[in-house]
Structure formats: C-alpha cells, structure tokens
Amino acid sequence: MKVLIVGGVAGGASAATRLRRQSEDAQIILFEKGEYISYANCGLPYYIGGTIRDRERLIVTTPQLLRDRFRIDVRTMSEVVKIDRAKKMVTVKNHADGTVYEESYDKLILSPGAQPKRPPLPGIDSEGIFTLRTVPDTYRIDEYIRETKAESAVVVGAGFIGVEMAENLKKRGLDVTIVEYLDQAIASLDPEMAAILHRHLRENGIRLLFGTGVQGFEKAENLKVKLTGEKEICADLVVLSIGVAPDSSLAKDAGLELSVGGSIQVNDTLQTSDPDIYAVGDAISVRQFLTGEDTLVPLAGPANRQGRLAGENVLGRRVGINDGVQGSAILKVFDMTAASTGMNEKQLKAKKIPYQRTYIHPADHATYYPGSSQISMKLLFAPDGKILGAQVVGFDGVDKRIDVLATALRFGGTVYDLEKLELCYAPPYSSAKDPVNILGFTAANILRGDVKVFYFDEVDALDRSKVSLVDTRTPSEVQAGTIDGAINIPLDQLRERMQELPKEKPVYVFCQVGLRGYLAARILMQNGYDVKNLSGGYKTYITAK
Ligand code: FAD
C-alpha cells in the first residue's frame, strides 16, 4: 500500500511512524512544505524568552531519523498543491528547486494544521508585525528583537499563545501590553478564574487592555497600534495571536466536505468524505466530548492521537475510534499555572445544559510542610453529579489535579467518584484529603442537601434588608476587607451569638474560602435556620470583583 501524508509535524509525523509500526510493507511518503518536520510548536515562545536556548532542541525528530529508523520517505520543502481524487494523484511543488511533479496514492492522510488569523486591517503588513506558528516565524521574531533592539511589544489576543508570548517577551526585557477584545484572558476559563491570572500578569508587569479591539497599524518611528475608542499605543513590535483558522484549502479545492469554521469534516475513524483520504489535527473539526457537536480544538494532544489513529485506520484496522475531544489545556503564566478540561460555564449556559458549581481554594500540600500554596479550583457538574468541566489555577500541583479531573470526566465520572478517589499522599505532595477529594466533598454536599450555597455573582443582588449576611471570619480578617452590609460573627462565637440572627430571615454566611462558612451553615441549619454558604468564600468574591 502506498500512503502519502501531507504535513510533517504533530499529526503527520505521528501518522507516519504509527503506520510504519503497523506495516513494514507500506510505502510512506511524508510531504512538508517547510524546512522542518516534527518541531516543537509548543516550545517556540520559550525560545524567544530564552528558556530554550539551543535551536536544535526545537526539533523533535529529523528527516534523517525518520528515514533511517522508520524507512519513511521524507520530502521537506515539498508542498502538495493539488489532489486529483479521480486519479488518486497529488501534485507536489518542490520549493527547493522549483520543480513540480505528481505522486500517486492508495491512501492519503492530511495534517496541514492551521494558519494564524491575520485580519485585513489597515497597515497589517507593516514591518514589525508578526504571527507565531513555525520555527522560521520564531527566528524572525528573535532576530527582529535583536537587530532593532526592540524595547516594547504589543501582543494582540490574550489566548494561550498570546499570554505565553507576553511572558516570554517580558522575560526578554521588553515592555509588554496585551490588547484583548474580550474582557478576560484565556477564554476557556470562566472570568472569575481568569481574574486570578490577570492579577498575576499585572504583578509581573504586563499591561492588560481588555475590551479593546485593534483597528489598524501605522508604521512611523515605531509601530502605532490604533485601538477602538480613538486610542492608540506605540510599540517596537506587534505579535498577533488572535487564534487560528483550519488550513483546509487543499481539501476544499479537492471537493472534500467541510465543517465548522471551514475545517475538514471527518467521521469517527478520521475518514473524510472521500474514503481514501483521512485528515487529522488542527485542520479538522472534532466532536465535543460531552455534547457530540462539531467544534474546533486546535491542540497538540488531539492532533498527535488522531495522527496515530489515522496511521492505523488507513490499513483498515479501525481499532481506534475518534470519540470526541474534551479540550484539556494547560498554561504556564510566570509562576502560576492555569488549566481546564471539559465545558466552562459560558458554554454550558449557551447550550442550556443544567449544571451546578463549586469553588474551593485548598493548599496544594499539607500546610505544615514548607512551601505550600493555595490552588483555586472550580468544578461544574450536572444535577445527577456527572462531571461537566473543571478549572484549576495556582502555583503548584495544578497539573496533576486537572489531569485527575480530566480522567474522571473522560470515564464519565461523578462528584461522588471524586469523593472516593484514592490519590497518593505524603505531606510534600498533597493532604490526606486531596484537593480533588475536597472538590468532590463540596459538590456532593450540595447535591445531597447537606449545605445550600450561593455564589459570588449573586452577592450584590442580595436584598440586605431581607437577609442576614454574616462574615464568619476573625475581626482581623474582616478589617482587611469584607462584603458590604455583612455583620461579623466569628465561627467560634456562633453558637453563643446565634440569637443575634432573626430566625425568620434567611442567613447568608461566608468566610475566606468557604470552609468555616460551611461549618457555620451546618451549625445554623441544625438550629432551624434557612442558611446558605458562599461557595469559594470571600476570596472568590473579591477576586472576581
Ligand atoms: P502542525 O503541527 O501545524 O503541522 C502542519 C504542517 O503541515 C505544517 O508544518 C505545515 O507547513 C504543513 N503543511 C500545510 N499544508 C501543507 C501542504 N499543502 N503540503 C505540505 N505541507 C503542508 N498545543 C497544545 O496542546 N499545548 C501547547 O502548549 C501548545 N502550544 C503552542 C504554541 C504555539 C506557539 C503554537 C503555534 C501552537 C501550540 N499548540 C499547543 C498547538 C499545537 O502545536 C497544534 O495543535 C498542533 O501542532 C497541530 O498539529 P497539526 O499536525 O494539525 O499541525
């Protein structure tokens, strides 16, 4: 069997090597229009920041290795410019010598990736405006900074790549401003979770302009970035990171069916509308794991796994099924880490999926062991307890918590499963009740009716004349800030001072993170009060403010 693969990075290289492991007989030709194959897209921002210093480290696999070890015919600088489905033939342009030739196939795998969006704004082609997708893009930015001695940068877009670039440009010594059309960074997080990152970005000297669009650019002494509201800022360079669009032009010209955002439509075995052509990676639409709807998830994990599956399925094995993508993603932001999996609240609301939520801010490991820090966690779950999504932001231990939650979600787990999970514990790593267990406990408490909760976004609407709002923290904590209209009854005095609270009024209690409020709620409930505890406590409330 002769298999041609278009695109030699995440999806394409995975498909090629998997195919070879399954078949020593297959003839495999991998076409890559650029100079490099299998490079570390995800590491590119860290080269610009200087964390990765060695150019070679950006290249995960060389064409020579794929030839020697896998007998794959790797052709770099070779762009597939046309697919003739009737003849089962592709046309290839060799950018090294300008020649054009045809190559036949039995099966074809497309992994052409995505293109950074570059809207047709005035001045968009001015010198000093960059996007970051490839190794050459990275070198261009690096050299421009060095040659022009750039001192300032505007990053347009506060998604994953934008925030990573902002951090790395700052590390490189530049003065950095992020301009973002939305009111928050990292849209996969809900605003109150993203707010933790906003603070950390600002503390690290990044200027954030939210709710601001870019209307154009003008090259003068440096670059003028024209913003909505007739404002403008100047910078030595601009990095556009406003998202990517699936690179489906080849598939479209070949008449293959397309899906959301112009992506390539595939079935559960990654076959396109032509059974001899498979497609993977950023170029395709995937099924959202929970809703089954077609969506775009341009991430390396799915692209690699899809490549591996396509490498098997072209041989007719059909072992793996592309059963949906939950969008698990993680990001380093200076000293913090932010991660999410599944659906966020905005998406659940948009799809009208009923959900409940809980917030906690536990320590990442036992507080008596040095070096612990707080992590903020949000869990979204269905009324029957099924996990729908999770978001975690903190300094340490974020990655393992989100991966446990992502695994639980993938296996259809519930909040009751999280209560029961037996996770590893020793003081340097966790607590005997791991934060993931605590997330399960708090969620299950809500569902079992052990406690009623209210949320940070309901506080301001509470009619203070009709409810008792009680801050259960110590007076010194209250002095540092509390919620307007709250009376202070520290938890340890509650049993004695309970009579200060009229029984006929609902009581809304809160503390710093939700635990003492929960204890207060349990005391009051058992004394006949109608009581609710603020999920995530004052910390979630004030962070979201
Ligand atoms: P790509 O890896 O982009 O490969 C496509 C290749 O196809 C390209 O090299 C292109 O030149 C080639 N090609 C296109 N058309 C043709 C043609 N006609 N002929 C021949 N060759 C062609 N994801 C994460 O999960 N985590 C991260 O931390 C992360 N960080 C990222 C940071 C950056 C700066 C970038 C750019 C991406 C990051 N991603 C991350 C996303 C991840 O890199 C992509 O999801 C993944 O690479 C997609 O794989 P792919 O094979 O679909 O496309």
DSSP 232-249: EEEESEEEE-S-EEE--H
Closest approach atom of ligand 1 to CA 250: 18
Ligand 1 binding pocket, CB closer than 6 Å: 6-12, 31-34, 41-42, 44-45, 79-80, 111-113, 132-133, 161, 247, 250, 281-283, 298-301, 303
| pLDDT tens by residue, 348-403 | 999 999 999 999 999 999 999 999 999 999 999 999 999 999 999 999 999 999 99
With both helix axes pointing from N to C terminus, report the angle between 191-203 and 537-544 in degrees, rounded to the nearest 10: 70
pLDDT of residue 319 exceeding 90: no
Mean per-residue pLDDT of the chain: 97
pLDDT tens for each residue of 212-264: 999 999 998 899 999 998 899 999 999 999 999 999 999 999 999 999 999 99
**What ranges make up the beta strands (E) of 105-147?**
107-110, 114-116, 129-130
Which whole-number Å values give the CA distances from 120 to 217, 342, 531, in the listed order? 11, 33, 55
Q: Which residues pair with 130 in a beta bridge?
A: 239
The best mutation among 80, 164, 286, 299 to test binding of ligand 1, ranked by most ligand atoms within 8 Å of the C-beta, falls on 299
Active site residues: 42
Compute the distance from residue 478 Cα to the ligand 1 centre, in Å.
Answer: 50
Q: Is the ipTM of this complex over 0.95?
A: yes
CA 43 – CA 300 distance, rounded (Å):
11
On whether the CB atoms of residues 245 and 261 are closer than 8 A, the answer is yes
| 345 contact partners, CB below 8 Å, separation of at least 6 | 190, 355, 357, 380, 389
Nearest 5°: the CA angle 416, 422, 425 is 130
Average pLDDT estimate for 179-200? 98
Rounded Cα distance between 75 and 352, Å, is: 48
**Closest by CA position to 514, among listed 451, 425, 457:** 451
Give residue 154's pLDDT band: very low, low, confident or very high (50, 70, 90): very high
CA distance 389 to 391: 7
Segment holding 360, helix H or strand E = strand 356-360
pLDDT score, position 295: 96
> What count of other Cβ atoms lies within 10 Å of the Cβ of residue 211?
12
CA 331 to ligand 1: nearest atom: 28
- Report d(CA 138, CA 51) in Å as an integer: 14
Which residue, by CA, sits nearest to atom 1 of ligand 1? 113
